[in-house]
């Protein structure tokens, strides 16, 4: 006879029923404990279990329209978090109740059955429990892996978005992550966020917003401080599929000191190349004495003093307000930085030189000059093209005459080959329009332009250079200016 038949024969059917009930509850406990671990892991990694996702999709699947979809997405995130938290609480509650029930039933059995029978029974039940627990655990791990993979697949990185021109073998996992490109955003863990840089960036954005109101600027600072404080006080840890890929990629690149990861000049391609190869291409550019000259010392401090003196002069002349002048002063300027973007779309690899002018001595003055010149432009000028979208709209219905062909000219070092004298003549020619948008006198405006043109210095590999013939580098103040 079997174990349960012996118990029933020797001790009664009621005792046998209690033993079977304990065994069934013990197996349910294995399932509940696994469910708790699975739900906690889903919450930790920011994953949505399929049973929740399917029900949510059935509620929001019919929503259309960009604004409605965004609102629905935000609602889904909140609802999913609430459902997962509710299921975790419910699972923990049921687990504790079942554990108490098992303890109570075991105490009853201890008064009914001999110790040797109980030990034999518990031994086999532990085997059954561990077997079921490991089986469910294995299935849940596969579910977690599948959910992570689905999350990564939604990014849809394309192989052509990454190009390895180095002699280093890069794992496919790293290539797929790098192929997402520099504009793909993931939430960075708090420990890797520089609060100092974050606050500096906020202050820079407030300055660029140009509210022209001290009260409005302080309001923006207060709102920003509240957002940053709430972020820092939020104890929710960040750990998802993209975080895992981020750290894997970061650790790999950390151990590859000879490998550089760069953004291509065109096509939004991420490029991997050897550091020595990149360095040789940069030196090939900087060795051209027609455009670049090496300096014996760092001129940043002297340029900073001259720029601040010019700002003080503008305040005294009431060209700019005292409040605006305070935002333009710079006492911790850094030299401009030189780097290059690989032209992987060309038959022969070369670099497009870029000079990053962020927080340099002339950054604020260049921004002021750029704004004045932009405001003075006539948008209705037949030669003015705002951007590529405007150009597409312009040629949308254009019909090319018979026997005509379209050609495209590729100019080498366009802005570097425009002389300063020609640039100043263009300003002279358009001064009537420029004077309408600024109170700066013509004499002082030309003094500022000549100062900006003569202050185009930068650093590369701890060496200082000056770009000898340049127009646009100092006037284009995005994250970098094309030299």
Each residue's pLDDT, cut to its tens digit, for the chain (483 residues) gives 688 888 888 888 998 999 999 999 999 999 999 999 999 988 888 888 988 888 777 666 555 555 666 677 777 778 888 899 999 999 999 999 999 999 999 999 998 899 999 999 999 999 999 999 999 999 999 999 898 888 777 777 777 889 999 999 999 889 989 988 877 877 777 777 788 888 888 887 777 676 667 788 888 888 888 888 887 777 655 567 788 888 889 999 999 999 999 999 888 899 999 999 999 999 999 998 888 899 999 999 999 999 999 999 999 999 999 888 888 998 889 999 999 999 998 888 999 999 998 889 999 999 999 999 988 887 777 777 778 888 888 888 888 888 898 888 777 767 667 778 888 999 999 999 999 999 999 999 999 999 998 888 999 999 999 987 643 333 333 334 444
pTM of the model: 0.68
What pLDDT does 152 receive?
78
- Fill in the DSSP letter of residue 400: P
For residues 161 and 264, give the distance between their C-alpha atoms in angstroms, rounded to a whole number.
10
What pLDDT does 84 receive?
92
8 A C-beta contact, residue 245 and residue 184: no
- Which residue in 406, 385, 402, 381 sits closest to 394, CA to CA? 385
What pLDDT does 471 receive?
38
203-238 pLDDT, tens digit each: 877 776 766 677 888 888 888 888 888 877 776 555
What pLDDT does 68 receive?
65
Token digits of residue 187: 């939430």
What pLDDT does 467 receive?
83
What pLDDT does 64 receive?
54
What pLDDT does 473 receive?
38
Axis-axis angle for helices 363-376, 442-454 (nearest 10): 130
What pLDDT does 60 receive?
60
Cβ neighbourhood burial of 202 (10 Å; 0-12, 13-18, 19+): middle
What pLDDT does 323 receive?
86
331-355 pLDDT, tens digit each: 889 999 999 999 998 888 999 999 9
What pLDDT does 67 receive?
60
Alpha-carbon dihedral 321, 326, 329, 330, rounded to 10 degrees: -160
Token digits of residue 137: 């655990």
For residues 271 and 261, give the distance between their C-alpha atoms in angstroms, rounded to a whole number.
6
Tokens 């019919």, located at residue: 62
Cβ neighbourhood burial of 369 (10 Å; 0-12, 13-18, 19+): buried
For residues 81 and 416, give the distance between their C-alpha atoms in angstroms, rounded to a whole number.
55
């Amino acid at each position: 006879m079997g174990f349960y038949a012996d118990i029933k024969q020797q001790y009664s059917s009621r005792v046998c029923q209690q033993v079977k009930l304990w065994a069934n509850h013990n197996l349910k406990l294995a399932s509940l404990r696994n469910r708790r671990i699975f739900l906690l892991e889903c919450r930790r990694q920011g994953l949505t279990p399929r049973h929740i996702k399917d029900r949510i999709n059935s509620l929001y699947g019919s929503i259309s329209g960009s604004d409605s979809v965004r609102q629905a997405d935000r609602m889904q995130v909140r609802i999913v978090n609430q459902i997962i938290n509710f299921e975790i609480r419910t699972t923990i509650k049921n687990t504790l109740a079942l554990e108490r029930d098992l303890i109570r039933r075991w105490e009853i059995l201890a008064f009914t059955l001999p110790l040797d029978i109980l030990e034999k029974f518990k031994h086999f039940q532990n085997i059954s429990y561990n077997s079921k627990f490991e089986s469910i655990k294995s299935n849940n791990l596969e579910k977690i892996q599948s959910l992570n993979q689905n999350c990564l697949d939604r990014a849809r990185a394309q192989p052509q978005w990454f190009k390895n021109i180095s002699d280093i073998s890069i794992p496919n996992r790293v290539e797929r992550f790098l192929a997402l490109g520099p504009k793909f955003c993931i939430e960075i863990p708090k420990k890797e966020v520089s609060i100092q840089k974050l606050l500096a960036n906020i202050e820079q954005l407030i300055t660029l917003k140009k509210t022209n109101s001290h009260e409005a600027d302080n309001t923006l600072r207060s709102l920003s401080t509240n957002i940053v404080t709430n972020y820092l006080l939020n104890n929710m840890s960040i750990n998802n599929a993209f975080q895992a890929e981020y750290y894997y990629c970061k650790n790999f690149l950390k151990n590859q000191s000879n490998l550089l990861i760069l953004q291509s000049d065109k096509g939004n391609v991420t490029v991997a190349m050897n550091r020595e190869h990149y360095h040789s291409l940069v030196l090939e550019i900087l060795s051209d004495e027609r455009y670049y000259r090496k300096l014996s010392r760092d001129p940043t401090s002297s340029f900073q003093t001259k720029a601040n003196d010019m700002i003080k002069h503008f305040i005294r002349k009431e060209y700019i307000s005292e409040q605006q002048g305070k935002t333009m002063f710079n006492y911790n300027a850094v030299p401009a930085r030189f780097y290059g973007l690989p032209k992987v779309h060309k038959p022969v690899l070369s670099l497009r030189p870029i000079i990053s002018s962020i927080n340099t001595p002339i950054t604020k003055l260049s921004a002021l000059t750029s704004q004045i010149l932009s405001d003075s432009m006539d948008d209705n000028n037949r030669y003015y093209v705002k951007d590529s979208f405007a150009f597409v709209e312009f040629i949308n219905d254009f019909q090319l005459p018979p026997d005509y062909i379209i050609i495209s000219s590729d100019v080498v070092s366009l802005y570097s080959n425009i002389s300063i004298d020609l640039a100043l003549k263009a300003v002279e020619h358009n001064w009537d329009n420029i004077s309408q948008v600024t109170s700066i006198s013509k004499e002082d405006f030309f003094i500022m332009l000549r100062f900006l043109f003569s202050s185009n210095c930068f650093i590369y590999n701890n060496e200082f250079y000056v770009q000898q013939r340049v127009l646009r580098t100092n006037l284009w103040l995005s994250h970098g200016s094309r030299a």
